[in-house]
């Protein structure tokens, strides 16, 4: 079980919870279970999502595992310049 922080725009779509508990081994499972629990998250995830694990931003590597007690945060996939 990991505790996941959500970026601001997601909070209203996840029952107004800024942090949610998810049982997930890796990013792929995390995102799938988040959408299962909160279908409204599908659209923002489709527009682009990144997951921060212990301070490191992962935008594409969805096989990245979530270590026990990891600090996890779901963030919009941002553009660079």
Q: Is 75 in the site for another protein (CB under 8 A)?
A: yes
Q: Is 1 in the site for another protein (CB under 8 A)?
A: no
Cβ 53 vs Cβ 72: under 8 Å: yes
- The mark string for 15-44 relative to another protein (x by CB under 8 A, - otherwise) is -x----------------------------
Q: Is 73 in the site for another protein (CB under 8 A)?
A: yes
Whole-number Å distance between alpha carbons of 81 and 73: 23
Cβ 33 vs Cβ 66: under 8 Å: no
Question: Which residue's CB is nearer to another protein, number 1 or number 80?
Answer: 80
The owner of tokens 């992962």 is 58
Whole-number Å distance between alpha carbons of 30 and 57: 15
Interface positions with another protein (CB under 8 A): 5, 7-9, 11-12, 16, 47, 52, 54-61, 64, 71, 73, 75-76, 78-81
């Amino acid at each position: 079980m990991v505790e996941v922080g959500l970026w601001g725009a997601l909070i209203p779509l996840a029952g107004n919870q800024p942090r949610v508990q998810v049982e997930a081994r890796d990013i792929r499972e995390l995102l799938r279970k988040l959408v299962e629990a909160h279908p409204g998250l599908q659209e923002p995830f489709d527009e682009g999502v990144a997951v921060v694990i212990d301070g490191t931003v992962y935008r594409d590597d969805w096989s990245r595992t979530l270590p026990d007690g990891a600090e996890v945060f779901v963030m919009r996939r941002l553009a660079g310049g």
